[in-house]
Protein backbone atom coordinates (compact mmCIF):
# COMPACT_ATOMS: atom_id res chain seq x y z
CA UNK A 1 0.00 0.00 0.00
CA UNK A 2 1.08 3.55 -0.68
CA UNK A 3 0.49 6.63 1.43
CA UNK A 4 -1.34 9.77 0.30
CA UNK A 5 1.04 12.75 0.25
CA UNK A 6 -1.77 15.08 1.35
CA UNK A 7 -3.58 13.33 4.18
CA UNK A 8 -1.25 10.47 5.07
CA UNK A 9 -3.85 7.75 4.51
CA UNK A 10 -2.44 4.34 3.56
CA UNK A 11 -4.54 3.06 0.68
CA UNK A 12 -4.30 0.18 -1.80
CA UNK A 13 -5.62 2.22 -4.74
CA UNK A 14 -3.52 5.39 -4.72
CA UNK A 15 -2.55 7.16 -7.93
CA UNK A 16 0.30 9.44 -8.91
CA UNK A 17 0.04 12.78 -10.69
CA UNK A 18 3.03 14.35 -12.44
CA UNK A 19 2.88 18.02 -13.46
CA UNK A 20 4.70 19.45 -16.49
CA UNK A 21 7.30 21.02 -14.20
CA UNK A 22 8.19 17.57 -12.81
CA UNK A 23 6.37 17.91 -9.49
CA UNK A 24 4.82 14.60 -8.43
CA UNK A 25 2.34 13.50 -5.84
CA UNK A 26 0.70 10.27 -4.72
CA UNK A 27 -2.92 10.56 -3.61
CA UNK A 28 -5.82 8.48 -2.36
CA UNK A 29 -8.54 10.77 -3.78
CA UNK A 30 -9.07 13.51 -6.33
CA UNK A 31 -9.93 15.82 -3.44
CA UNK A 32 -6.45 15.42 -1.95
CA UNK A 33 -4.85 15.72 -5.39
CA UNK A 34 -6.70 18.95 -6.16
CA UNK A 35 -5.89 20.43 -2.77
CA UNK A 36 -2.18 19.68 -3.19
CA UNK A 37 -1.60 20.16 -6.93
CA UNK A 38 -4.14 22.65 -8.33
CA UNK A 39 -3.05 26.26 -8.78
CA UNK A 40 -4.30 28.92 -6.38
CA UNK A 41 -5.77 32.26 -7.38
CA UNK A 42 -3.13 34.97 -6.93
CA UNK A 43 -5.76 37.37 -5.56
CA UNK A 44 -8.15 35.40 -3.32
CA UNK A 45 -6.20 32.17 -2.86
CA UNK A 46 -9.01 29.78 -3.84
CA UNK A 47 -8.19 26.54 -5.63
CA UNK A 48 -8.54 26.92 -9.40
CA UNK A 49 -10.24 23.72 -10.55
CA UNK A 50 -11.42 25.02 -13.93
CA UNK A 51 -9.55 26.91 -16.61
CA UNK A 52 -9.16 30.07 -14.57
CA UNK A 53 -7.86 33.31 -16.06
CA UNK A 54 -4.29 34.34 -16.76
CA UNK A 55 -3.06 37.91 -16.72
CA UNK A 56 0.61 38.90 -16.77
CA UNK A 57 1.57 35.18 -16.51
CA UNK A 58 -0.34 34.91 -13.23
CA UNK A 59 -3.32 32.60 -12.59
CA UNK A 60 -6.60 33.91 -11.20
CA UNK A 61 -9.87 32.07 -10.56
CA UNK A 62 -12.02 34.63 -12.42
CA UNK A 63 -11.94 37.92 -14.27
CA UNK A 64 -12.87 39.87 -11.12
CA UNK A 65 -9.72 38.67 -9.36
CA UNK A 66 -7.64 39.35 -12.49
CA UNK A 67 -9.00 42.91 -12.64
CA UNK A 68 -8.30 43.53 -8.95
CA UNK A 69 -4.97 41.69 -8.85
CA UNK A 70 -3.43 42.69 -12.18
CA UNK A 71 -5.58 45.53 -13.49
CA UNK A 72 -6.57 43.33 -16.43
CA UNK A 73 -9.39 44.60 -18.63
CA UNK A 74 -11.34 41.35 -19.00
CA UNK A 75 -14.80 40.03 -18.14
CA UNK A 76 -16.24 36.55 -17.55
CA UNK A 77 -19.12 37.10 -19.99
CA UNK A 78 -20.13 39.25 -22.92
CA UNK A 79 -23.41 41.11 -23.12
CA UNK A 80 -25.42 39.94 -26.16
Per-residue pLDDT tens digits for 42-77: 999 999 999 899 998 999 999 999 999 888 888 777
The strand pair at 53-55 and 58-60 is best described as antiparallel
- Please name the residues in contact with 9: beta carbons below 8 A apart, sequence gap of 6 or more: 3, 28
pLDDT category at 79 given cuts 50, 70, 90 is low
Query: Considering just the CA atoms, what is the radius of gyration of the chain in Å?
Result: 16
> Running DSSP on this structure, what letter comes out for residue 4?
-
pTM for the structure as a whole:
0.76
Instruction: Report yes or no: 75 and 63 within 8 Å, Cβ to Cβ.
Output: yes
Amino acid sequence: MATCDMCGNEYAHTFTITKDNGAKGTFDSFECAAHAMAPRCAHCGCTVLGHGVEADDTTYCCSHCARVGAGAHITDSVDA
